[in-house]
Amino acid sequence: MGLFTELKDSISRVTDRLFSEQEPKRIGIYGPPNAGKTTLANRIARDWTGDAIGTESHVPHETRRARRKENVEIERNGKTVTIDIVDTPGVTTKVDYEEFTDEMEEDDAIRRSREATEGVAEAMHWLREDVDGVIYVLDSAEDPITQVNTMLIGIIESRDLPVLIFANKIDLDDSSVKRIEDAFPQHKTIPLSAKEGENMDEVYENIAEYFG
């Protein structure tokens, strides 16, 4: 009976391991506000599932709750990976309601800032507990050396999570991919324009290879 029980337990462990390896990897899309995270999430989701994930906007903190698109299968160069995309709110050290007063009434701006602050906390929870890898999106027209970027990259590295840095908005005249490469030379940087769909083949090749 003891041998039978041990054999049964051994088979159960192997089966559990096989099924767990087949589960989609949760890939969090992180970065500062207005870097183009939701635009990228929508581009990936539409290309591989036909559906969008969330609303895109030029107003900061349009995404104030993490949104998830499950079972997105990406195939490139004979490699296939199935991922759950987690589009997270932009992370910042401070959310000021006055950022939004040009776009909305003061009461709405205050509510939006409160929701955005809660969204930052949720994004940090996902990063510390619930993602298997990270796509870190930066606006290539902005200075990448900020307190938020340094902090988030540090947390990602401390968790030993695989990370790809995407230098977004290369369609802008003042874009500088090299500035991002120089800021974080320890990680691979892929240039793209999520809005225009530029260089998405390289994006998908790296996702399939890196997270597969």
**What CATH number is given to the structural domain containing 171?**
3.40.50.300
Q: With a cut of 60, say whether residue 186 has pLDDT above it.
A: yes
Give the number of other Cβ atoms within 10 Å of residue 76's Cβ.
Answer: 17
Compare 160 and 63 and report the one with higher pLDDT: 160
* Residue 6 in domain: no
pLDDT-wise least confident of 54-68, 78-92, 149-163: 54-68
Domain with 83, as residue range(s), is 22-209
Q: What is the mean pLDDT of residues 67-78?
A: 91
DSSP string for 129-178: HT-SEEEEEEETTS----HHHHHHHHHHHHTT--EEEEEE-TTSTT--HH
Which helix (H) or strand (E) segment holds residue 179: the answer is helix 177-183
Q: With a cut of 90, say whether residue 101 has pLDDT above it.
A: no
Of 53, 120, 138, 146, the closest CA to residue 112 belongs to: 120
Compare 89 and 95 and report the one with higher pLDDT: 89
Q: Give the pLDDT confidence score for residue 19 in this predicted structure.
A: 43
Residue 68 near residue 84, CB atoms below 8 Å: yes
Helix (H, G, I), strand (E, B) or coil at 64: coil
* Residue 60 in domain: yes
* Residue 58 in domain: yes
* Residue 4 in domain: no
| Full-model pTM | 0.75
* Residue 12 in domain: no
Sign, CA torsion 50/55/59/65: negative
23-65 tens-digit pLDDT: 889 999 999 888 999 999 999 999 999 998 866 544 444 544 6
Q: Give the pLDDT confidence score for residue 18 in this predicted structure.
A: 45
Q: What is the mean pLDDT of residues 3-25?
A: 55
164-176 tens-digit pLDDT: 999 999 999 999 9
* Residue 8 in domain: no
User: How many domains, in total, are found in the chain?
Assistant: 1
* Residue 135 in domain: yes
Q: Give the pLDDT confidence score for residue 36 in this predicted structure.
A: 93
* Residue 164 in domain: yes
Helix (H, G, I), strand (E, B) or coil at 54: coil
Q: Give the pLDDT confidence score for residue 59 in this predicted structure.
A: 44
